[in-house]
Structure 1
Amino acid sequence: MTETRRAVVIGGGIGGLTAAAALHARGWRVTVLEKARSLEPVGAAISLAPNSLRALDVIGLGDEIRALAAWAGDGGLRTPGGRWLARTSADAAAARFGGPLVLLHRATLITSLASRLPADTVRTDAAAALADPGGPGRPARVTTRDGELEADLVVGADGIHSAVRRALFPRHPGTVYSGFTTWRVVIPVPGAEFASHETWGRGRIWGTHPLKDGRVYAYAAAVTPAGGRAPDDERAELLRRFGDWHQPIPAVLAAARPGDVLRHDVHHIADPLPAHHLGRVALVGDAAHAMPPTLGQGGNQAIEDAVVLAHHCDDLPAYTAARLPRTTAVARRAVRVARLNLRTGRAGIAVRNTAMAALSKAAPALFLRGFEDIADWRPPQRPYASQHHPAGNH
């Protein structure tokens, strides 16, 4: 009788829990070590595109998450004064990519992922460190305060400041500051009726989107030196930067309390790692390829990583071969988009806005075409391609 293989996942975020669920579905005995005292995520909402929803089909979660889609009708891109630069359609996007775009609270996704695991899988308040990446003939070893664990596979899912990444590739320069900071909030906004939109200003962007549960997800970004903080509170900072922009932005800010607003500087991995694995250890998500949020693909790529890793769990070089080129390309595109939508020069902004408006009027489908080689991704056909949802099949 074949002995059950053991996997240890360091990090209980979206990528780590998806990897745990996918490995569990393949018969692995999985332990997830999360250093926080609970799985409650740091962050607000997450956007899941058709590519990651197909990956979630692999663990039987895709349709449950698709049912949370709230964006309907038209949305698009606006100027701070409210003028529409470009229009987009939820139905057109779903038709082109084989599924909807779903915005949901991160806590909802975390809860759904955790429900796919046996009750004793996740250990919280369990800081861990990689002691030995292992190799042919020897297991990987992970140390915790309760002792050492041996594993046939260790998944480094410990985020943007990954200690597992540093242990595997100590000479890699790590992350760099992306040049901007972000604010996020998820709150009810009484009487708010609006089309889902993103607004581009001078070195600043704002997005406002409805959620299925009736709340509003809003995010903002601004070019600013690293490490900055508001002299009073972050809601007041948003009022100073965005308070005179079009509705519903003032309404969102009026409904927000200072404690509702999260602020984080954005960092990314500018120099790709030499590999996404070493020995018996594989990296997923931000630990492997942290990127700016300007494409909304950070969490999506982590979910892709997880199901591809489970597919290639017996051949980690194949995992790197499948993921490194794709995630590098997506990350580089996210950096380019950040440079476009956070321009600070008036002349460049005028050219950008004119081009976006003209392109939208002449060929609106081109906006979707620019995303199709990201959103049309499908998971490996065997053993995981979904047979339940048509968008998961080749």
Structure 2
Amino acid sequence: MFTFQMNFYVFASLLCLLVVFAEAQQQHRDHRPLATDAVFFDISIGGKPAGRIAIALFRGIVPKTVENFVKLSQGSVKDGNGFKGSIFHRVIPGFVIQGGDFTAGDGTGGHSIYGIQFDDENFKLKHAGAGWVSMANSGADTNGSQFFITLDATPHLDNKHVVFGKVVKGMDVVKKITQLQRDENDKPFQEVKIVNSGVIQLKRAFRVNVPQIHFMIFSSICLILINFCVAEETEKFTNAKATDHVYFEIAIDGKSVGKITFALFGDVVPKTVKNFVEFAKRHKPLGYEGSKFHRVIKGFMIQGGDFTSEDGTGGDSIYDGPFEDENFILTHWKPGMISMANAGPNTNGSQFFISTAINDFLDGKHVVFGEVVDGMDVVRKIENLKTVNDKPVSEVEIISSGVLNTE
């Protein structure tokens, strides 16, 4: 039965939703960016036609970035200078799909029409929802040919990646891509290819709707209230109590930066917790001590636990091979939750990830088994490291790990 406090939050959340709905009907026309150009991608999945994605572009806001994208849409992999024949090499459901690497096809290549890289023009456009097209980069002023399409609002990418377009047709195709099975590097097992690309001749420029800033802020407050309600009810339902505590001492480029302490919920997922605890007691190549965090995606998660290969392809379990998903009772309802990384259902080993955001789109797909109770500042240090292909440029090592006696 809800308490008075819960009733208040539920009421406030519902009121928020009503106001948000009303606000959505009142968007101001003069804030909408003007689409001056458009391109198309004809997509195949596993060699079979999957449909067309049409992207509106905003030359009046980011002319240099749009010119780069338009010219590359007219080129091909065959001539080494364009998107036709290239693939989407990275897919993260609920976050982004990424392509544009027409030279290497793995996120390490591509180039711009201006040479290798060019500067960030401006950050006037925001990652305001699903379907916004933005430049992928490896830091400030490192734009080339790679781009990504957002699958949700990603405000943590604002002022870091240049937004230059919006999908105006074909989000159903984008969603098909997000549903594909992927390997440990988020590359789809089925090839997602741009079989044809080119320019769409517009009869006239047109405006594209974008949520207003005050609308987005208000929506965020509503989501916080709703998540608060869900979190409290989830905690009541699961009655999750910590059965074990594990620590990792972390070094970045050989220098200790602190400890991360985890509370683990063995009453909810005993098999998963036992696996994690055992590896926390052991040294590489049979455990976590001495292993690395090999994958970091800011605003999403940090991943480790591959103590055999350290690139996301290895690791093991204490059960001699992959083990099944126990359950999905615990959820990715806040930053700091720790979950099993996998390559699909029932493929758990030793790899894990720590969420650095609310990742509820992973619920029902990855087994949550604990949370960070101390050292979230260390997690944030790792999250903010420079990366190439999601691998930290600095070495992030678990120099010590073990089980804490909290009795």
TM-score w.r.t. length of structure 2? 0.23
User: Higher helix fraction: Structure 1 or Structure 2?
Assistant: 1
Q: Which has the higher contact order (CA 8 A, sep 6+)?
A: 1
Bigger radius of gyration: 2
TM-score w.r.t. length of structure 1? 0.24
